[in-house]
Each structure stands twice: as C-alpha cells, then as structure tokens.
C-alpha cells in the first residue's frame, strides 16, 4: 500500500540521517549530546496522577513547541515506550532522543531565520477509564530556506496511553504507547514538501 511505501521511505531516511550524524563519539555520550542538540527536557520527576500527566503533555505543545523542537518531557514516558506515527515506529526514549537530536538541526535549517514553526494545541482530553490522554493539534510552519517556500500544515491527533505504577512511596504515571495519526494521508502530507504553500489541505475532516 502507499502508506507502507511512505513509512518505508521515511524509516530509511531517518536511519540514514542517524548514521550520518552519529559520528564518532562513544555510545555512552550519545544521549547527552543529542539531548542538548534538540533542547530536550526532562524534569526528572515522574507525574503522580493522570491530571498531572495531561498538564505536562499540554506544556509540551504550548511551551516546548515539541512538534517542531522534539522537546518532550521525557520523564513522562516509560524508557521502553513505543512511539508510532504514520511514517515511523520505534521503541524506547533513547531511540526518540537519537532520532530527534539528529533531525532537529535539519528542520531548524529549513525553517530559516524566521523559524515560525508552531505546535498549536487545538484540544486535549483525558480518558481515565481507558487510560489515555488525547490531543488534537496543528503543526504548521514555512520552510523558508527552500526557494518555493513550502508550508508544512498538518492536523493530527495523538493518544498518550499511560499506566499507573506504585513505587512504594506513591503512584507514578508514565506513557507506554505514543500513537499519532494525521487527518490526511502520509503521502499527501509529505507532498507538502514539494508544493507551494496552501496547495494541500491540512485535514480531510469536516470541521
């Protein structure tokens, strides 16, 4: 299917980028290096309730602009969390740090000096019965370094599936499955890279 082809292409490009940017430092230095490069945050304190988790996920959009910066509060995620979106899937916060740390410098260059990439949080809800926080968001930004000035403009939804665990001194809540979907096919979203701004709608859903 076209979705499988798109996912395969992006997975290969991500692996290639990681190979190029990994360089010569020892693996033990990788997490520190890429975390600094991406501006990743970690409070070091795990959320103690689903409501706190919701608040901190909200901050990732509204304060950290994480859809563009990759700056997730990694303390909210289990070390073996599975991350999936329409183009890529991998396991572990270490893999997330590596992928983001290598891709963010490329993204920042393409955005140019204006760097107007925005992570707009349209809605956020908590489903305690099933155990997830769900967001609806709009990732939008102009790639000013490219002469045809394309605009990335995608509306999507993410479910942050979480578990509560007792550590003897209380409850800790962490995300074990990050499940991101887009409201347009992945292939159309990627076509935004090679078309002029506004050519492709950011959602296939009726408002």
Per-residue pLDDT of the chain (207 residues; tens, 9 = 90+): 545 444 444 444 444 444 433 443 434 343 443 444 444 556 679 999 999 999 999 999 999 999 999 999 999 999 999 999 988 899 999 999 988 888 888 888 888 887 789 999 999 999 999 999 999 999 999 988 888 888 999 999 999 999 998 877 788 999 999 999 999 988 888 888 888 888 888 876 655
Question: Measured between alpha carbons, how far is 118 from 98 in angstroms, rounded to an integer?
Answer: 22
* End-to-end C-alpha distance for the chain, whole angstroms: 28
Q: Which of 1, 13, 17, 15 is nearest to 187 (CA)?
A: 1
Cβ-Cβ contacts under 8 Å for 44 (sequence gap 6 or more): 75
Phi, psi angles (nearest 5°) of residue 38? -90, -10
β-pair partners for 155:
138
Q: Which of 151, 27, 40 is nearest to 103 (CA)?
A: 40
> In 10 A of CB 52, how many CB atoms?
14
Q: Which of 126, 108, 121, 193 is nearest to 153 (CA)?
A: 193
Whole-structure pTM over 0.85, yes or no? no
């Amino acid at each position: 299917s076209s979705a499988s082809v798109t996912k395969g292409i992006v997975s290969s490009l991500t692996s290639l980028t990681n190979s190029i940017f990994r360089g010569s430092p020892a693996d033990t230095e990788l997490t520190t290096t890429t975390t600094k490069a991406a501006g990743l945050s970690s409070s070091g304190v795990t959320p103690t309730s689903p409501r706190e988790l919701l608040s901190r996920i909200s901050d990732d959009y509204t304060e950290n602009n994480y859809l563009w910066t990759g700056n997730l509060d990694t303390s909210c995620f289990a070390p073996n969390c599975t991350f999936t979106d329409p183009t890529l899937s991998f396991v572990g916060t270490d893999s997330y740090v590596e992928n983001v740390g290598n891709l963010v410098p490329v993204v920042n260059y393409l955005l140019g000096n204006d760097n107007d990439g925005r992570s707009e949080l349209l809605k956020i809800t908590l489903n305690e019965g099933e155990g997830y926080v769900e967001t609806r968001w709009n990732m939008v930004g102009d790639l000013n370094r490219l002469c045809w000035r394309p605009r990335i403009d995608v509306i999507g939804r993410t479910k942050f599936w979480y578990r509560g665990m007792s550590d003897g001194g209380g409850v800790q809540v962490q995300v074990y499955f990050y499940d991101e979907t887009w409201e347009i096919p992945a292939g159309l979203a990627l076509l935004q890279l090679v078309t002029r701004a506004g050519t492709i709608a950011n959602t296939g859903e009726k408002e």
